[in-house]
Structures are given as structure tokens and as C-alpha cells.
Chains A and B, each alone.
Chain A
Amino acid sequence: MKRYLTAAAAIVAVGLLTTACSDPSITGPGSSQSSGTATVQWPDATASLSGVTLTIWAAQNSNTTPKAVVAAFEKATGAKVNIVTIPDPYEQGVQTKVATGDKPDLAFWQPTGSMLTALNAPTNLQPLTGAPWITNLNPALQDMTGILKGTRYAALITSPAVEGVYYNKDVFAANGITTLPKDWNSFIADARALKAAGQTPLFEMGGDRWATQWWVQVQLADAAKSGLWDKVNTGKEKFTDPTILDAIKTYKSLIDEGLFNKDIATANFADQGAALLSGQAAMVVQVNSFFSELQAKTDTATLNKKIGFFPISPSGNTGTFIPDQSNALVAFKTGDAKREAAARQLLSLWMGKGYPAFIKDLNTVSLETSVPSPATVPQALLDVNASLANSVGSMQALAVANPDLYIYLADMIQGTTTPEQVAQQTQDQFAQLAKAQGVAGF
């Protein structure tokens, strides 16, 4: 008898739990007063905010970025701002916290459609419609990113990263390469010439994995311009179709040809930086964070002398942009109208009155036409920024989901999978993510 009672109690308990089953990250209906279409109030940047405490989540590589701006904001408004570092892997940590209902006021976040979707932006984020600083931005950057289904959710604060080629100027000069490659074929021809001269032309970090995907993505720049990712997003084109599969095959054939470093399977990010700086390798396909790694290793004068950048695409020099987490901030719907307004106010100050000091403190390229970049910004960074105007979006920027292409490519480098398997695994994961999002056609 007792046993039956226990069983009945357990069934009732499970039943009660299932009915209470809901996403804890959703706040009650009363708190979501601001919707995507409504107008958003932008308080004066220096209005008093005494007694208000804001929290900013940042990653290990972006937690010092807001320090100067935050200090200026605290001084001007009387608010208190806590910068909290979320350990790496940052995106997973933030998503997990948000899923359990834990939200900051502001957070660094990759401003791409797929990553805004991953945070469920319409539910969790404040729309930044009518942000006062947008018209100050370089026109090419105003609507480049941070927008999901017509609503702006992210504020771009620094120059978005671009996938392209970083090269060692000394190695090029020593091997008689005087003009930079004008398209993919001349780029590969230069690599082969360098190999023939006994130089390691290319360096890849198969051990740390994440940069492997740049090689495939830069080859897709032309296709991306003519709407490749729109087709992928609707299921009309797959990773297993020739466009993307051929790019993977080309990458594999270049590795098999011996154009890359011998320790490609184990080399890591730091090895890659050291190899390019020392001239042990001539070229590296990378993004801005690679240049930050070089900046950590040496000074601006040496970098200007030694390291150059050019974008590459099959038919020319189109860069592939990939804004990352350190480039932008999102503001959360916390349910507290006062703090939500204060978060917007901080962004106003950051991108308005505080912007010149912020750019100077970070020694980076300015996004605003009226604010000049500091004279001490390395040339390669200026070149990267200049390539943005003519660039095209990466998979992360334009696809609805962000599959682990880099992991599958790294498996291929280890020799356990073929290009066909890489394409299939990526497609399967993409479809799984798209289905979970409720994208039509999956």
C-alpha cells in the first residue's frame, strides 16, 4: 500500500513540474514595455543617476576595454558600474546564465544575426532603435551589423574584424615579391614561389582549431556577395553543394601540397603569431585578434615595419567581415525601467561625448567620421578598417546559425575525416540549429 502511495505521489510531483515547465529567462508580461517597433527614449548622456548600479559582462579579452569610459560615466552621472568577467568560453557562459534568468544590464556580444538569435534578442535584449550616435558613424558601418529582423540590438564600438591575409614584409622583400596578390590565384602562386625558395609560405593553427574556418570563408567571399548565405538559410543551398564543398577541398589540397607549416595539426594561436613575426612563416589568414596577439608581443614601430595586411577573395581583394564579441555591446531587458534607461545612457555617453577618449585609451581605429583615429594606431589596423567598406559578411554575420565548421575542419587536418564528411557534419549541425530556431525549410 505504501509503495502505491509513493508511486502516486511521484506521478503527481512530475505532473506538477511539467505544468510549471517554462523558460526562466522570460520575464513577466508587465516588464516588457519596450517592443521592437515602439520608440525608445534616449536620456541625456550626463543626466544624474546617483543610486543606480549597472553591471557589464565582459570576456577575458574585453574586460579592460570599458574601464576608461565607465570611469568617465561614473564621474559624470554618479552611477556605479560593475564590470564582471565571465570566464571563457564566454558565449557559452553568457547563454547558460541568461537561460537561467541571470542577466546583466550590458554585455559584450558578437553583433551578428546568428548570435543575436542565440540570445533570443527580441525577448531578452533592449532594442536600440533611434540611437543618437548612429548618424555619427562612418556610413558604411551604420547598418553593417547589430541588426536582427530590422531591429537594432547591438552597439558597434570598435572596428569589426576582417578575415584576410597578414604577411611578413621582410620575407616578401627577401623573396622578390613586390606587388601584393590581386586575387586568389596570384595569392596561391606567391605561396608556391615561396615554398620553392625553401620558405614556409602559410601557417595554420590546427591545435587551437578556431582559425581553420577563415580559409574556407575567404574563398566564399564572391559567392557571399551574390547571396550564398541567403540560399543556405532557406535550405536551397547546402554545405555539401559544390560552392562550399569545393572551398573545403581546396583548403585540403593546399595542406596536402605542403604549403603549410609541418606542425599544422598541433600548432596553436601563440605559435602562429611567433612564426609570422619571426619570418618563419610568410603568410597567415586571420582576423583582428591575431593582430592583438602580435601587439602583445612587440611595439607599433616594429609591427609597422614588419607586418602588413591585405584582404583576399577568389576574384580580387574583398575582405570578409566578422564582428566579434569585443566589437559590440548589447543592453538587456532587465525589467527595471530605471536601469534599462541608465544602460542606454551609458551607451550614449560611450559613443557620444566619451568616444574620443575611449578611442585614445584603446589606441584603436575610430568608427566616427568626426573623431580622428590616434596617430599611434598601427598601419595594418588602418588597412583592415579601410577594407571594411568593400567587404562582405562571413558565415557568422550572414547565416542564421553558426555551426562548428572550425572543429570539423580541424578534424580533417588531423586526418580523421574527408572534405565530404566535413561538409556533411556542418550541414547536419546547421540544420539542427536552424530547426531549433524554427527557420522555415528545416
Chain B
Amino acid sequence: MTTRTHSLRRTVGSPPRTGGAPRARRLGVRQRGSYPASFLVPAFAVLGLFFFLPTIYNFVYALTSWSSFSSSIHFVGLQNFTDLISSGTLFRSLRITVTYAVLVAVFQNVFGLLLALLLERDTRVNRFARVMFFIPVIMSALAVGYVFQAILKPTGALNTILGDMLGHAVTIPWLGNTTWTLVVITLIHAWKWMGLSMLIYLAGLKTINDDVLEAARLDGASAWTTFRDIRFPLLAPAITFNVATALLGSMNGFDVVQATTGGGPARSTELLNIFIFRTFGQGLFAQATTMSLVLFLVVAILAFPVIRVLRKREEVL
């Protein structure tokens, strides 16, 4: 096999799988010669300028006294970190952020999977429904937040509908409870993104070989058994992607929460990013940078084990 035929095959479809690991590696070595390394320069330049450079600055400024009050920036060592840790507010916001991320990951995936199973068959109605459920994904998160804020306020649409159904006035402050409002906004966040999870689960379901399902049917497996023992395990790659993106993406949550509650009531929904935003607005730029560095580290620390565990599930495939 020559490089030429290999690269031809690459452009046509997926890389050869049957060759086995040693052969693939051998081909990979030969492959390196066929694309000049300089092709990578533009991509790395963009990555470096817009990702690595700001990240490095994030580390640097966290160790300084940068603020809006003073023209000079001094090196202060780890003082910003010790101040943050001693105040306790950081851990409070971190706890809220992690709770938020976990709840979003659960809700978004449960909703997404249910929708995918419900809309699996390619009928006309299902195609239309899939589009409808995908629309929130492409909507502006702030717009979603403001719409839900209007629906959920004590005199909003939800309470009016409940009131009409129950026959008496309902004035539940959905966004005014210091315990449950966090759950309400995770549901909003999950609602916005469930269409994306649905799409990925649908793609995952489509890759399951019909022969396997038919064999299960012939063996007399019920729909539930088929799902539990065959379809769900085979969805592992889709689950990895969906859980990881939902969990780690919502760790960086800001827009939906800012628009619905702004961190209230009583800062019970103040995600770390909202706290950072508020600190930055006070002119304490270095402290805000320190916090975003902490968030970066927490996301990184969380990402590795989560992705590792989820990838482990895929090994059975």
C-alpha cells in the first residue's frame, strides 16, 4: 500500500480500521512526511493568540495588584489567593457552581435522551418536533433568561395558568426561594440545551446495528430490556460527549443565570462567574482574575476524572 492510496482513502472515508495498531502507526509515520508541519502554523497562531496567551496572562495577573484605582501594577505573590480563601465567599460560590453544573448535566441528559427515544423514528411529525426542540439551542441565552424571568415572576404566566387551573390566585415566587430557585434555573439551562443532547443521542441511536436489535427481538427481549442491556450501553460515546460538555460547559455558566436571577435571591444562585463579574465591576481586576484562575483549575481538575470514567465505559464496545 502506498501513501497515495492511503491519503486517497482518507479523503473518501474513515481511516482504515482493519489494519490493526502496528500498521496504523507505520502509516502514521509515513503520513507525517506528506503534510508539511508549516500547515499547522496558522491554526497554532490563532490558538496561541486567543487561547494560550490569555490563559498565561490569567496566571500572571492573578499574582499582581492590578485594579482600576492605581496606574501601576505590582507583584503581590499569592496574596490574592490567601485573601480569597480566608473570606469564604469563594468556596460558597464554588459549591453553588458545582451543584449547578451537576444538576444541569443530569437534567439536560435525561431530557435529551428521553426526547431522542421519543423522536427516534423518522416520521414527518418527529422531524418537525426535533426542529422545534432544537430551536432553544440556537436562541440567545440572555433572551431565554429574560423570557423565563417574565414567565416565572409572581404575577407571571406560569402562576396565571396554575391559578386558572386551580380556580384561585397563585403567587409562588419561583425565582425568590433561596433553596429551590437554583433547581429552577438549572431546569431552564437544561431546557435550553436539551435539543443538542437530543441530536447527539439520536445520532448515537442511529449507529446501533439493526441486526443486533433484531436478534434481541427474536430472543423475546422486551423494549425495556433491549434499552437497558443493548441500546444504553451502545450509546456510551454519545453519553461521554453529552455529560462532559454539559457538566464542564455549565461550570462556566453565566448568561442564563444573570438574566433570570442575577445571582439572587440572597446570592443563592451566585455562580462563580457572576461573582467574578461583580468583583471585576468593583475595579478589583486582579482579584477577579484570581477567581477565574481558580475556576479554570477546578474545571481542569474535574474534567480529567470525569472524561476518564466515561471513556472507560466505552471500552466494552
Contacts and interface: CB of A to CB of B under 8 A. Distances in A.
Contacts of A429: 282
A23 interface: yes
Given A410-B266, A433-B284, A26 B68 contact: no
B162 interface: no
B61 A21 contact: yes
- Which secondary structure dominates where chain A touches chain B? helix
B136 to A, nearest CB: 23
A370 interface: no
Contacts of A92: 277, 280-281
A418 interface: no
A28 interface: no
Contact of A118 (B53, B60, B69): B69
A21 B267 contact: no
A211 interface: no
Interface string B53-89: 1001101110011111111110000000001000100
A226 interface: no
A17 B283 contact: no
Interface residues of A, number: 40
A411 interface: yes
B278 A404 contact: yes
Contacts of B67: 436-437
A407 B267 contact: yes
B60 A266 contact: no
A194 B153 CA distance: 29
A21 B56 contact: no
B265 A265 contact: yes
Contact of A120 (B56, B59, B65, B71): B71
B154 A263 contact: yes
Contacts of A17: 53, 56-57, 60
Contact of A22 (B53, B73, B283): B73
A411 B267 contact: yes
A95 B87 CA distance: 24
B178 interface: yes
B285 interface: yes
Contacts of A432: 83, 284, 287
Interface in A265-282: 265-266
B68 A120 contact: yes
A176 interface: no
B204 interface: no
Contacts of B57: 17
A410 to B, nearest CB: 7
B281 to A, nearest CB: 3
A285 B57 CA distance: 45
A266 B176 contact: yes
A99 to B, nearest CB: 6
A355 to B, nearest CB: 32
Interface in A182-216: 207, 209
B198 to A, nearest CB: 33
A25 to B, nearest CB: 8
Contacts of B69: 117-118, 120, 436-438
B264 A410 contact: yes
Interface string A91-126: 110011011000000000000000001111001000
B173 interface: yes
Contacts of B173: 263, 265-266
A14 interface: yes
Contact of B283 (A89, A95, A414, A417): A95
B68 A265 contact: no
A178 interface: no
B292 to A, nearest CB: 14
A74 interface: no
* Interface-centre pick from A209, A411, A436 (highest chain B CB count, 10 A): A436
B268 interface: yes
B266 A414 contact: yes
A411 B262 CA distance: 13
Contact of A438 (B56, B70, B153, B284): B70
Given A265-B265, A437-B70, A438-B70, A95 B281 contact: yes
A263 B285 CA distance: 36
Interface string B170-208: 010101101000000000000000000000000000000
Contact of B72 (A23, A89, A119): A23
A12 to B, nearest CB: 12
A412 to B, nearest CB: 8
A416 interface: yes
Interface in A390-442: 404, 407, 410-411, 414-417, 428-429, 432-433, 436-438
Contacts of A428: 87
Nearest to A26: B71
A13 interface: yes
A6 interface: no
A429 B57 CA distance: 25
Given A92-B280, A120-B68, A437-B67, 20 more contacts: A17-B53, A17-B57, A21-B60, A21-B61, A23-B66, A23-B70, A26-B71, A118-B68, A120-B69, A120-B70, A123-B71, A207-B264, A266-B153, A411-B266, A414-B264, A415-B266, A416-B178, A416-B268, A432-B83, A438-B69
12 contacts: A17-B56, A95-B283, A118-B282, A407-B267, A410-B265, A410-B266, A414-B265, A416-B178, A416-B268, A429-B282, A433-B284, A436-B65
